[in-house]
Amino acid sequence: MAAGRESKLQLVHRHIRAFSDFPKKGILFRDICPILKDPAALTAVIDLFEEHVRKNHQHVELIVGLDARGFLFGPLLAQRLDVGFVLVRKKGKLPGSTVSVAYDLEYGKAEAEIQEDAVAPGQKVLLIDDLLATGGTLYAACELMKKQQAEVLGCMVVIELKELNGIDKLKSHSVFSLVQY
Protein backbone atom coordinates (compact mmCIF):
# COMPACT_ATOMS: atom_id res chain seq x y z
CA MET A 1 0.00 0.00 0.00
CA ALA A 2 2.95 2.34 0.59
CA ALA A 3 3.74 2.40 -3.15
CA GLY A 4 0.11 3.25 -3.92
CA ARG A 5 0.14 5.98 -1.30
CA GLU A 6 3.38 7.42 -2.67
CA SER A 7 2.11 7.47 -6.25
CA LYS A 8 -1.07 9.24 -5.09
CA LEU A 9 1.00 11.84 -3.22
CA GLN A 10 3.12 12.39 -6.34
CA LEU A 11 -0.03 12.83 -8.43
CA VAL A 12 -1.40 15.41 -5.99
CA HIS A 13 1.94 17.23 -5.87
CA ARG A 14 2.12 17.39 -9.69
CA HIS A 15 -1.32 19.03 -9.75
CA ILE A 16 -0.44 21.95 -7.48
CA ARG A 17 0.60 25.05 -9.44
CA ALA A 18 2.71 27.89 -8.13
CA PHE A 19 2.01 31.52 -9.04
CA SER A 20 4.58 34.16 -8.13
CA ASP A 21 3.46 37.52 -6.77
CA PHE A 22 -0.18 36.54 -6.18
CA PRO A 23 -2.26 37.94 -4.59
CA LYS A 24 0.51 40.49 -4.03
CA LYS A 25 4.21 40.91 -4.72
CA GLY A 26 6.42 38.57 -2.74
CA ILE A 27 3.79 35.83 -2.27
CA LEU A 28 4.15 32.43 -3.93
CA PHE A 29 0.57 31.19 -4.26
CA ARG A 30 -0.08 27.43 -4.30
CA ASP A 31 -3.07 26.73 -6.55
CA ILE A 32 -5.21 23.60 -6.05
CA CYS A 33 -7.49 24.25 -9.06
CA PRO A 34 -5.66 21.67 -11.23
CA ILE A 35 -6.46 19.02 -8.59
CA LEU A 36 -10.14 19.80 -8.89
CA LYS A 37 -9.98 19.69 -12.69
CA ASP A 38 -8.42 16.22 -12.78
CA PRO A 39 -10.65 13.39 -11.49
CA ALA A 40 -7.68 11.13 -10.70
CA ALA A 41 -5.92 13.83 -8.67
CA LEU A 42 -9.10 14.69 -6.76
CA THR A 43 -9.74 11.01 -6.08
CA ALA A 44 -6.15 10.66 -4.84
CA VAL A 45 -6.67 13.53 -2.35
CA ILE A 46 -9.84 11.98 -0.97
CA ASP A 47 -8.27 8.50 -0.91
CA LEU A 48 -5.31 9.80 1.12
CA PHE A 49 -7.54 11.68 3.56
CA GLU A 50 -9.80 8.64 3.92
CA GLU A 51 -6.81 6.36 4.57
CA HIS A 52 -5.55 8.74 7.26
CA VAL A 53 -8.94 9.00 8.98
CA ARG A 54 -9.65 5.27 8.92
CA LYS A 55 -6.22 4.59 10.40
CA ASN A 56 -6.17 7.36 13.02
CA HIS A 57 -9.69 8.61 13.73
CA GLN A 58 -12.12 5.70 13.47
CA HIS A 59 -14.66 7.38 15.77
CA VAL A 60 -15.11 10.62 13.81
CA GLU A 61 -18.74 11.75 13.65
CA LEU A 62 -18.52 14.94 11.58
CA ILE A 63 -16.25 16.54 9.04
CA VAL A 64 -16.09 20.32 9.49
CA GLY A 65 -15.11 22.22 6.34
CA LEU A 66 -13.65 25.72 6.39
CA ASP A 67 -14.86 28.47 4.08
CA ALA A 68 -14.47 28.01 1.21
CA ARG A 69 -12.06 25.38 -0.01
CA GLY A 70 -12.73 23.02 2.84
CA PHE A 71 -16.18 22.80 1.23
CA LEU A 72 -14.59 21.17 -1.82
CA PHE A 73 -12.90 18.26 -0.07
CA GLY A 74 -14.97 17.88 3.09
CA PRO A 75 -18.28 16.62 1.64
CA LEU A 76 -16.50 14.06 -0.54
CA LEU A 77 -14.60 12.72 2.46
CA ALA A 78 -17.68 12.77 4.70
CA GLN A 79 -19.63 10.78 2.12
CA ARG A 80 -16.87 8.16 1.92
CA LEU A 81 -16.79 7.88 5.72
CA ASP A 82 -20.59 7.85 6.02
CA VAL A 83 -20.56 10.81 8.44
CA GLY A 84 -22.08 14.28 8.32
CA PHE A 85 -20.52 17.47 7.01
CA VAL A 86 -20.92 20.98 8.44
CA LEU A 87 -19.72 24.41 7.38
CA VAL A 88 -17.58 27.02 9.11
CA ARG A 89 -18.27 30.24 7.19
CA LYS A 90 -17.20 33.84 7.20
CA LYS A 91 -19.39 36.01 9.44
CA GLY A 92 -22.82 36.81 8.00
CA LYS A 93 -23.05 33.94 5.49
CA LEU A 94 -25.19 31.45 7.47
CA PRO A 95 -28.90 31.72 8.25
CA GLY A 96 -30.40 31.13 11.68
CA SER A 97 -28.70 31.28 15.05
CA THR A 98 -24.93 31.13 14.85
CA VAL A 99 -21.91 31.01 17.12
CA SER A 100 -18.87 33.05 16.06
CA VAL A 101 -15.28 33.69 16.99
CA ALA A 102 -13.04 36.60 15.98
CA TYR A 103 -9.47 36.02 14.87
CA ASP A 104 -6.49 37.97 13.58
CA LEU A 105 -5.47 38.14 9.96
CA GLU A 106 -2.16 39.41 8.65
CA TYR A 107 -3.65 42.90 8.21
CA GLY A 108 -6.78 43.05 10.35
CA LYS A 109 -9.42 40.86 11.91
CA ALA A 110 -12.09 38.45 10.70
CA GLU A 111 -14.85 36.33 12.18
CA ALA A 112 -15.80 32.73 11.53
CA GLU A 113 -19.13 31.23 12.44
CA ILE A 114 -21.12 28.02 12.52
CA GLN A 115 -24.82 27.39 12.90
CA GLU A 116 -25.61 26.96 16.56
CA ASP A 117 -27.13 23.49 16.09
CA ALA A 118 -24.53 22.17 13.61
CA VAL A 119 -22.35 20.42 16.19
CA ALA A 120 -23.55 18.78 19.39
CA PRO A 121 -21.55 18.84 22.64
CA GLY A 122 -19.19 15.87 22.74
CA GLN A 123 -19.32 15.17 18.99
CA LYS A 124 -16.02 14.01 17.54
CA VAL A 125 -15.01 16.21 14.62
CA LEU A 126 -12.22 16.58 12.09
CA LEU A 127 -11.55 19.93 10.46
CA ILE A 128 -10.55 20.15 6.80
CA ASP A 129 -9.22 22.93 4.59
CA ASP A 130 -7.03 23.26 1.53
CA LEU A 131 -4.13 25.12 3.11
CA LEU A 132 -2.37 25.74 6.40
CA ALA A 133 -0.43 29.00 6.21
CA THR A 134 -0.32 31.16 9.36
CA GLY A 135 -2.89 28.96 11.12
CA GLY A 136 -5.37 31.72 11.97
CA THR A 137 -8.41 30.29 10.22
CA LEU A 138 -7.92 26.72 11.45
CA TYR A 139 -7.26 27.99 14.96
CA ALA A 140 -10.49 30.02 14.86
CA ALA A 141 -12.41 26.95 13.68
CA CYS A 142 -10.94 24.93 16.57
CA GLU A 143 -12.04 27.68 18.96
CA LEU A 144 -15.55 27.49 17.48
CA MET A 145 -15.57 23.75 18.13
CA LYS A 146 -14.45 24.42 21.71
CA LYS A 147 -17.37 26.85 22.13
CA GLN A 148 -19.68 24.10 20.85
CA GLN A 149 -18.05 21.63 23.28
CA ALA A 150 -17.10 19.33 20.40
CA GLU A 151 -14.06 17.08 20.54
CA VAL A 152 -11.57 18.05 17.84
CA LEU A 153 -9.79 14.89 16.74
CA GLY A 154 -7.51 16.78 14.37
CA CYS A 155 -7.09 19.05 11.39
CA MET A 156 -6.39 18.05 7.79
CA VAL A 157 -5.10 20.12 4.88
CA VAL A 158 -3.94 19.43 1.37
CA ILE A 159 -1.00 21.86 1.62
CA GLU A 160 1.07 23.06 4.56
CA LEU A 161 3.34 26.07 4.10
CA LYS A 162 5.89 25.14 6.76
CA GLU A 163 7.89 28.38 6.64
CA LEU A 164 4.85 30.31 7.93
CA ASN A 165 4.74 28.17 11.11
CA GLY A 166 0.95 27.92 11.21
CA ILE A 167 1.26 24.63 13.04
CA ASP A 168 2.51 26.57 16.08
CA LYS A 169 -0.99 28.04 16.56
CA LEU A 170 -2.45 24.54 16.51
CA LYS A 171 -0.10 22.87 18.99
CA SER A 172 -2.90 21.27 20.98
CA HIS A 173 -4.31 19.59 17.84
CA SER A 174 -2.89 17.03 15.45
CA VAL A 175 -2.44 18.36 11.93
CA PHE A 176 -2.23 16.10 8.88
CA SER A 177 -1.04 17.58 5.58
CA LEU A 178 -0.63 15.80 2.27
CA VAL A 179 1.98 18.14 0.76
CA GLN A 180 4.45 20.43 2.53
CA TYR A 181 6.40 23.35 1.11
Q: What is the mean pLDDT of residues 130-150?
A: 96
| Residue 1 pLDDT class (50, 70, 90 cuts) | low
pLDDT of residue 104: 83
Q: What is the pLDDT of residue 87?
A: 98
pTM of the predicted protein model: 0.95
Which residues does the annotation mark as catalytic? 69, 106
Query: What's the confidence (pLDDT) of residue 139?
Result: 96
Q: In the prediction, which pLDDT does 144 show?
A: 97
Give me the domains of the chain, ranges plus CATH numbers. Answer: 2-180 (3.40.50.2020)
Strand 98-105 relative to strand 108-115, pairing: antiparallel
